[in-house]
Amino acid sequence: MTKSHSLQSVVRCLAKACLWLSLSCLAQTTSPPPSSSASNAAVAPLSGKLRILVVPAFWSDYTGDTPVSPERLAELMAIVRSYFLEASYDKLEMVPTVTPWIRLSVPRPAAGCPNGAAVRTALDSPAIASYKAAGWDRIVVVQPRIAEQCFWHGIAGVNSAWINGVFDEKVIGHELGHTLGLQHAHQLNCGGEPALVLRPCRVVVTGDFYALMGKWNMGHLMAMHKAQLGWITPAIHGSGVAVYDLAPISVKGQALYAVKVVRGSRTFWIERRESSGFDAGAVGGAAGRAGISIRVVDDSIGCGESCVLNMSANGDDFLSNAALKVGQRWSDSGMTVEAVSAGRVKVTTP
């Protein structure tokens, strides 16, 4: 892992804050960021230790109370560390250091929300100077919520994140996921239909309730993201009929976690979710999420980053009964997926 020995690269990333926007903020964007993960190109596994500096910081004119203690931030970062250890099957360890609260030498931006110039000025503040030479892999700046019009919870670049008054392990973990190069996890909701038909319809932004890169959950990263980080290798289904035995994506040390099927411009990812580890809340928190889940990547239907599908086609944004249950089958783009038994799927293509 190449370390940054200067905050200048952090500044450049945050100057392009709209490259990655979190949660409700993404609803305001009209196109996916560059370097789409749709290609899912194989990369060297992201592994080892990632040194994370967490800096809680006031603007110079802030007069409110301290919204969260460094001790509480350390507790949140301990959860984030445990999450990425489990999600990476012990390949990646985030090692956090939380500083005391500091006061920047610059006031809050007049417009309310920090823009690139405001962040650049803030990170050049003498209050942060003592941290600049340490060569941190990631820097997370935590601030009190500075304005109601500043509606985003966090922004992130390649090696930095800025948290806006939401002191929650899910938000911090989500933004750190962006710094690893991961995009959002959406949901395709075409309403109630007897058979789910993929077409341009309603994309629920960050609506993948299974995964950290979706909405307000610390469920395991989806298989596509784990493959992108080099933590798993999917089976590639070309043509014909094949049966695959999938292990729950939350369980370490298993043989196969996912099947990838490319059908023209449309790519499918098939994985298995069970209520264990960090998936206990994401999968066990709603009826019918356990089982085989399917995601699609296809720009033409608004799913250029990814969209999870609800196999019950009940129009439920919370993905109740979203998994493909034993005995059920589903078809699209000349492909049929059948859940033969728990974890066993049969994929048929021409």
- Say if residue 25's pLDDT is above 70: no
Q: Are residues 133 and 215 in the same domain?
A: no
Does residue 2 form part of some domain? no
Q: What is the pLDDT of residue 266?
A: 93
Q: Which of 288, 338, 296 is nearest to 312 (CA)?
A: 288
Region of poorest pLDDT, from 140-154, 204-218, 236-250, 284-298 = 140-154
Q: What is the pLDDT of residue 24?
A: 28
Q: What is the pLDDT of residue 75?
A: 98
The 3 state secondary structure assigned to the chain is CCCCCCCHHHHHHHHCHHHCECHHHHHHCCCCCCCCHHHCCCCCCCCEEEEEEEEEEECCCCCCCCCCCHHHHHHHHHHHHHHHHHHCCCCEEEEEEECCCEECCCCCCCCCCCCHHHHHHHHCCHHHHCCHHHCCCEEEEEECCCCCCCCCCEEECCCEEEEECCCCHHHHHHHHHHHCCCCCCEEEECCECCCCCCCCCEEECCCCCCCCCCCCCCCCCCHHHHHHCCCCCCEEECCEEEEEECCECCCCCCCCCEEEEEECCEEEEEEEECCCCCHHHHHHCCCCCCEEEEEEEEHHHCEEEEEEECCCCECCCCCCCCCECCCCEEEECCEEEEEEECCEEEEEEC
Give me the residue label for tokens 């806006």.
164
Q: Are residues 171 and 193 in the same domain?
A: no
Q: What is the pLDDT of residue 111?
A: 66
Range of the domain at 315: 186-349
Q: Are residues 151 and 171 in the same domain?
A: yes
Does residue 1 form part of some domain? no
Give me the residue label for tokens 């009940």.
314
Q: Are residues 148 and 202 in the same domain?
A: no
CA distance linking residue 214 with residue 308, whole number of Å: 10
Q: Are residues 134 and 192 in the same domain?
A: no
pLDDT band with cut points at 50, 70 and 90 for residue 39: very low
- Say if residue 149's pLDDT is above 70: no
Find the CATH number of the domain harbouring 145: 3.40.390
**Residues 61-101: pLDDT tens digits?**
889 999 999 999 999 999 999 999 999 999 999 999 999 99
Q: Are residues 58 and 102 in the same domain?
A: yes
Q: Are residues 167 and 88 in the same domain?
A: yes
Cα 273-174-265 angle, rounded to 5 deg? 65
**Residues 98-137: pLDDT tens digits?**
999 999 888 887 766 766 666 667 767 777 666 766 778 9
User: How much is the average pLDDT of 195-206?
Assistant: 76
Please identify, among 155, 179, 203, the residue that sits at the C-terminal boundary of a domain: 179
Q: Are residues 171 and 298 in the same domain?
A: no
User: How much is the average pLDDT of 162-181?
Assistant: 94
Please identify, among 179, 209, 234, the residue that sits at the C-terminal boundary of a domain: 179
Q: Is there a contact between 304 and 32 (Cβ–Cβ < 8 Å)? A: yes
pLDDT band with cut points at 50, 70 and 90 for residue 173: very high
Instruction: Please report, as a single letter, which amino acid is at residue 94.
Output: M
Q: Are residues 22 and 105 in the same domain?
A: yes
Question: Percent of the chain, pLDDT > 70?
Answer: 80
- Say if residue 5's pLDDT is above 90: no
Q: Per the structure, how many domains does the chain have? A: 2
Question: Quick one: tokens of 240?
Answer: 């014909």
Q: Are residues 156 and 215 in the same domain?
A: no
What is the distance of C-alpha 330 from the center of its chain? Answer: 26
Region of poorest pLDDT, from 157-166, 180-189, 190-199 = 190-199
Q: What is the pLDDT of residue 136?
A: 86
